[in-house]
Amino acid sequence: MKLITAHKILIGTSIVFFVFFSGWELTNFFGAGAGWALARSLLYLGVAGGFAVYFRTLKNKVL
């Protein structure tokens, strides 16, 4: 396995994790009504978006 393949797998896993974690915090916001849970949810969704953009730029790069 090439290093780029392992890197893509880890980045893809990070995207899935942060989307899931964002949803988790969103359910905490609706359940408990904590404002910080909404802020964390948006933050984690932004991180997932950043990783997604980074993942898309890895098409032809070699590490």
Mean pLDDT of the chain: 89
| 18-35 average pLDDT score | 90
38-58 per-position pLDDT tens digit? 999 999 999 999 999 999 988
Share of the chain above pLDDT 90, in %: 63
Residues 55 and 25: their CA atoms lie apart, in Å, by 24
Q: What is the DSSP string of 39-63?
A: HHHHHHHHHHHHHHHHHHTTTT---
What is residue 60's predicted lDDT score, i.e. its pLDDT? 63
Q: Give the pLDDT score at 63.
A: 55
Look at residue 31 in the predicted model and tell me its pLDDT. 87
